[in-house]
Structure 1
Amino acid sequence: MIHARETSPIEKVRDASRRIVRELGFMKPTVGATGLPISAVHALIEIGARGKLTAAALGEILDLEKSSVSRLLRKLVDSGEIEERENPDDARSKILSLTGRGRKMLERIDSFGHGQVSGAFGHLSQEQRRTVVAGLGAYADALAAARRGEGGQAGASGVDIVAGYVPGVIGRVAEMHGRYYVEPYGFGRFFEAKVASGMAEFSERLDRPANGLWVALRDGRVMGSVAIDGEDLGDGAGHLRWFVMDDALRGLGVGRRLLAEAIAFCDRRQFRHVDLWTLRGLEAARKLYEDFGFTLVEEFVGGQWGTEVTEQRFRRTPRMGAEGDASPLKMMG
C-alpha cells in the first residue's frame, strides 16, 4: 500500500502562495487591463497612498535596487503617470507624485484589485474573511521581518492575546508610550501622565459592552495593547486608543493580531465609524491602519505636547456615518 506523504505547513504555504500569484494574474506581463507590469502598479499604489515619495523611499518600500527603481520611474514619467519636483529638503533627490493621468490609472488599479478580492470574499464566511485578513497580514509582516533580519520565531512565540484588564496594564501602557514617543517627538512626563490617567479612567468602564481592551502577554508581561472606547466620541462611533507595542515584538505580526481583535469587536458592535488619532511619520503604523480599512481624513499641526508635531485623524467606516469629534491625539488617550 502506498501512503501519501503528509504535506508540511511550509509546503502548504508555498503552494498557496504560488496559486495566489497565478490567480491574481502576476505571471502575466501586465496586470489586469492596465497595460503596466506589476512593479509599476505597486509604484503607483505606494506613491498614491502617501501623496509623495522620493525614489529612495520607494525603492525601500518595494525592495528594489536603485537602478531598477530609476528605470521604472523613468518609464512612468515618460508615460505621464508621475511627475518629479525639486525636493526643498534635499537637492540631491526629487519628490515623486501622481499626475492626473496617474490618479486615473490608480483608480483603475484599485477598481480591478477590489473586484478580485470582493469576488473571492463572496466565497468565504465572515469568520473566514477575518482569518484571511489577519493571517495574510501577519505572514506579510513576518516575511518583511525575516528579510530585514529582525527577531525570529522565538521572538513571536509564546505571545498570547487576552481580552480585558490584566494587572500592571495601566503602568505598562503608559511606560511603552513614554519610551516610544520621547525620542522622535520629544514627549515627556506630561504626555506619559496623560496616557496613564486616561487608561485609569477607561479601565473603570471596561465592564460596559461598548468598550474593549486587548493585551499581548509574553511570560505574563504586558508587551502590547489596543483599546476600543465606544463611549467617549458619542454618536454611535468607536474610538481606537492606546495601540502600542514593546520594541521587542515590533515587526513580528503581534500588533496585527491585536488590531484584528479590536476591529472584529467593532464589527460586532456595528459602530457607525471608528476613529483614531496619531502622528505623521509613523509609516509602519499607518500601513497597518490602512490594511484594516482606515483612511486619513484630517491633518493639522499642534504644539500642546511641548513640541510642534503634525497630528492625523484616521477613520474606518463600515457604513456611512456622521463626522466625529476631532480632538487631537485621541488614540493615545
Structure 2
Amino acid sequence: MSPINDLDSAVAEVREFNRVYTRLIGALDYPEKLRTPYSLSEARVLYELARSGLTRVQRLREELGLAPSHLSRMLGRFEEQGLIARERYAEDARHQQVRLTESGRAAAAELDERSREAVAELLLGCNGTQVRELTRALRTVRSTLTEPAAGRGEVRLREPGPGDLGWIVQAHGALYAAEYGWDVRFEALVARIVADFAEDHDPLLERVWIAELGGRAVGSVMCVRDAAPGAARLRLLLVDPAARGYGIGDRLVRACIRFAREAGYRELVLWTNDVLTAARKIYVRAGFQLIAEKPHHSYGADLVGQDWRLDLHEPDPKGPAHS
C-alpha cells in the first residue's frame, strides 16, 4: 500500500473511531448523559482547574485549545455561579489567574465521579484481557499523537513486563500468518516456547528482551540454554513491520550475543527458515555462519530449515548493545 493510501486509511479509521466514541460516551448530549447542567467543554475546564489549582487564564486556554472569547464567557458564567475566583497574575498584571472556590471544587468532584461511573459502565461488558488490550491501545494512540517526533523514534530494550510474553505469542502468530501464510500451528509452537520459559528458566543463563519504540512493544528476542553442552539458543526474533528501519533487529541480536558471552556460553545457535531473508541478513551481519539446511513441510508451507552458529570466543565487532 502506498503512503498516500496508508494516510487515507488512517484518516478514515480515526474519523470512524471519533464517530463511534462520541456516541458511546454521549458527547453530543453530555449534560443529559451525566445529569449535569454543564456542557462538555465547561466540564473539561472545571476538571482542568481541579487538577491544576491556581492557573493562568492564558495557560488554561492554550492547554484546552479554546478560543479566547469562548473561554472568557465561560469563566464569566462560572464566576456568577460562585464556582471560581479570579485575581491578577503577580508577575504580570496584564494576565489573570483563576481558581476553583469550594463550590467549584464540589461541582468538579461530582462531575469527575459521574464521568468515572459512565466509563466504568462502558467497560463492564469487557473481560480482563480485553480491558488490558484496550488500555495498551489507548496508550499507544495517546503517545503516537502527542509525543514529539524525536521521542517516537527512541528505541529501548527492556525486560518483559506483565502481558509482554503473551504479546510475543500474539505478534508472532499475526505477523507470520499475514506475511507468509503460516497457520495456527506456528503460533502454537511459539506459545509452547514462551510457556516453557515462563514456567522454568534460570535468569543467570536465560533471558528475554522486549524492544520498545516510542513506549510501544515492537520487537522481541530470547536467549535460552540449548541441549548441546556449552551452547545457548537464540529464539523468537521479531520486529513489528511498522518499526522496521530503526535497526531494532540488529540491536536485539547483539543484546542476545552479549548476554550469551557474559553468561559463559561457548557458542550461540539458532534455527530459522530460508524465506526469512531480513532475519538472515541480521544473522550474517552479527557473524553467524550457516551450517546446515533441510527441506520440511510445516505450518502449512513447504520450507527450508536452516541451522546457524556463532562462535562466542570471537570478539563482537559491533561492541555491546545498550538497553
More helix by share: 2
TM range (shorter): 0.3 to 0.5
The alignment's TM-score, normalised by the length of structure 2, stands at 0.48
Rg larger for:
2
More strand by share: 2
The alignment's TM-score, normalised by the length of structure 1, stands at 0.46
| More relative contact order, 1 or 2 (CA 8 Å, 6+ apart) | 1
